[in-house]
Amino acid sequence: MAEITDGGASRAGDGENVAPMEEGPRRLRADAERNRRRLLDAATEVFSERGLEVGVGEIAQRAGVGRGTLFRNFPSKEDLIAAIVVERFRESIARGAALLEADDPGEALFTLLDQALTRSETDRALFEALDDAWLCRKDIGAVHTEMLTMLDALVRRAQEAGAVRADIGAVDILVLVKGMCEATRSLRHLDGDFELRQLDLVRAAICAPGHQRPLRGRPPTMHEFELRRPPAGRSAAVSG
Amino acid sequence: MAEITDGGASRAGDGENVAPMEEGPRRLRADAERNRRRLLDAATEVFSERGLEVGVGEIAQRAGVGRGTLFRNFPSKEDLIAAIVVERFRESIARGAALLEADDPGEALFTLLDQALTRSETDRALFEALDDAWLCRKDIGAVHTEMLTMLDALVRRAQEAGAVRADIGAVDILVLVKGMCEATRSLRHLDGDFELRQLDLVRAAICAPGHQRPLRGRPPTMHEFELRRPPAGRSAAVSG
DNA sequence: ACCTGAACACCGTTCAAGT
DNA sequence: ACCTGAACACCGTTCAAGT
C-alpha cells in the first residue's frame, strides 16, 4: 500500500564483513549479497537524481536483477528506502563524531550543518525521512536517536564555548536545518550563493547573542527568481 | 502521468460572481459551477487532513459526483491541487496586504509569519507547491510573484523601521519560513511550544542585530522526542 | 453542455515455476 | 536458497454512452 509502516529492524543494513557468529541477519549467499548491494547502489543513485518516486522496476533493471529479487531483499519499496536512509544516517553520525575532536567547538557544529547542506542533494531520502511517519519505524528511530545523541554533544560543546545560544537544543537545530535544506533543494534554479545565505540564516538563528555576521551574497530579486526558473521542470510526482 | 507540467492558466480559479462579459473562463452551467465548488471543498478538506496522496475517487465520492466530472473540471489531479493552491495563495496575499496598514512594521511582518505557521496545517498544499516543479506552472507562478511583491513591501517597511536586518530579502524569508513550517508540520507529536520555538528561531535569524529574544518554551529532550512518538503513524505515502 | 461508470495504463507487490 | 517474470490490485485518466 506504500504507506509508512513499522517494518521491524530485521537485517538492519550493515552488510559489510559480518562476523561469522553474529546475531541478527543470517549470512546471505554470495550472489544474494551482491544483488542486495547492487539494488542499494542503484536505488541510491536514482533516488538522489530524481527523488523517491522512481519505480521499482527501473531500480531492479538498473541493478541487473528481476523485480522479484528486489522484493526478496526488501519486503517493500519503503524498506528499501529505509535501508538507504539508515546508511546515510550512519555516515552523517560518523562525520559528526569526528567533529567532536575539532579544536573550535562552535565551528565544529557549523561545519556539520554545512556538510548537511552540501549533502542534502544526495541525501535527500534522509531528509525526507525526518518526519513522524518514518521515525516511528524501529530501524530509523534507532539511528535517529544516535544522531541526536551526537548532535547534542556537539551543541553542548559549542554552548560551553559561548558560540551558540544557551536556550537551544539538538532537536531544535535538527528540525530547523532539515527544513532549510529541503526548502533550498527544491529551488535549485537559484544560484549557489542562495544556499549559503540560507545556511547563514540558520547560523544567525542559533548563534549566541553578539555573534552576528552579514549574510553571504545578496538577496535574490523577484526578477532573478522569475528568470532563472527551469524551462520545463518536471520532477515532483503528485502521486502515481 | 501525475508529474508537474505546465497546465496553462485557463479557467484560473476565481469562480465567484463572474461578470457576464468577462474574458477568459466561460460561464459554467449552474450545476457545473456547484460541482466545481464541491470538488474544491472536498479536496481541500481531505488534502489538509491526509495529504495530497488521497485518491481522486474518494474526492469525487465526497463531492457527490462521478470521477469523470472531476476530470471535466480539472484536466488532472495536479490541476485540482493547483486550483486549491491558488486560492490559498490569494488568501495569504490578502492577509499580508492588510498587515501593510499596521502600526508596527516589524510586528506586522512577524504576524504574517505567525499566520503562516498557524495555517501550515490547512495550507499544506500551498507549502508543498513552493518548489521548482510547481512554480513553473503559469497559474502558480503568477500568484507566487504577487506573494513576493506583498512580502517585499512588508519586509522593506520592517527594515526601514529597523526591526529586520538590512541584508535580507523577501525570497530569503519566504524560503526559510516554508522550510520551517513544513519541517514542523511533519513532527506534530511534539507539543505546541515546539512550533513557537521554531518560529522564534526564524525571527532570530531575520531580526536586526541587537533585537535578540529568548526562545519560548524549552528545548525538547531526546527522551521526550522518543516518548511522544505516535503509536502507529501512517501518513506519508512513498508513491502509489 | 454536462454527467457517469466501465475500461485502460501504470506501478507496487505476490507467487508459481524455475535453477 | 535464491531468481524470475507473469499475474494481481490499486489509482490516475480517458471515453463512449447517457441526460
For B74-125, the DSSP string reads SSSHHHHHHHHHHHHHHHHHHHHHHHTT-S-HHHHHHHHHHHHHHTTTTTHH
* C1' of C11 to CA of A99 (Å): 43
- From B8's Cα to the closest Cα of chain A, the distance in A is 13
Regions of chain B where pLDDT drops below 70? 1-26, 226-240
* C1' of D19 to CA of B71 (Å): 19
Query: Is the CB of B226 less than 8 angstroms away from the CB of A145?
Result: yes
Look up residue A29 and give its DSSP letter. P
Query: Is the CB of A136 less than 8 angstroms away from the CB of B232?
Result: yes
pLDDT at position A128: 78
Cα–Cα dist B164/B208, whole Å:
4
- From A20's Cα to the closest Cα of chain B, the distance in A is 33
Cα–Cα dist B223/B202, whole Å:
25
Q: Which residue of chain B is at minimal alpha-carbon distance from A146?
A: B222
A51 Ramachandran zone, left/alpha/beta (phi>0; psi -120 to 50): left
- CA proximity to B215, closest of A157, A131, A211, A208: A208
> A211 and chain B: CB distance < 8 Å anywhere?
no
Query: Is the CB of B172 less than 8 angstroms away from the CB of A206?
Result: no
Look up residue B39 and give its DSSP letter. H
> B50 and chain A: CB distance < 8 Å anywhere?
no
Query: Is the CB of A3 less than 8 angstroms away from the CB of B202?
Result: no
- Judging contacts by C-beta atoms under 8 Å, the chain B residues touching residue A176 are 180, 183, 198, 201
Regions of chain A where pLDDT drops below 50? 1-2, 7-23, 231-237, 239-240
pLDDT at position A103: 97
> What pTM does this model have?
0.88
Which pLDDT tens digit goes with each residue over A13-44?
A: 343 333 344 445 667 788 999 999 999 999 99
pLDDT at position A1: 41
Residue A164 sits at φ, ψ, to 5 deg, of -125, 145
Buried b (16+ CB within 10 A) or exposed e, B16-32: eeeeeeeeeeeeeeeee
**Strand C-proximal residues, CB under 7 Å?**
A 1-2, 53-57, 67-68, 71, 75-78, 240; B 1, 28-29, 31-32, 35, 65-69, 71-73, 238-240
* C1' of D13 to CA of B73 (Å): 13
The answer to whether A234 CB sits below 7 Å from nucleic acid chain D is no
Q: Determine the Cα angle at A45 with ends B133 and A200, to 5°.
A: 60
The number of helices, as runs of H, and strands, as runs of E, in chain B is: 11, 0
Cell of A50: 530524481
Determine how many CB atoms are found less than 10 A away from the CB of residue B147.
20
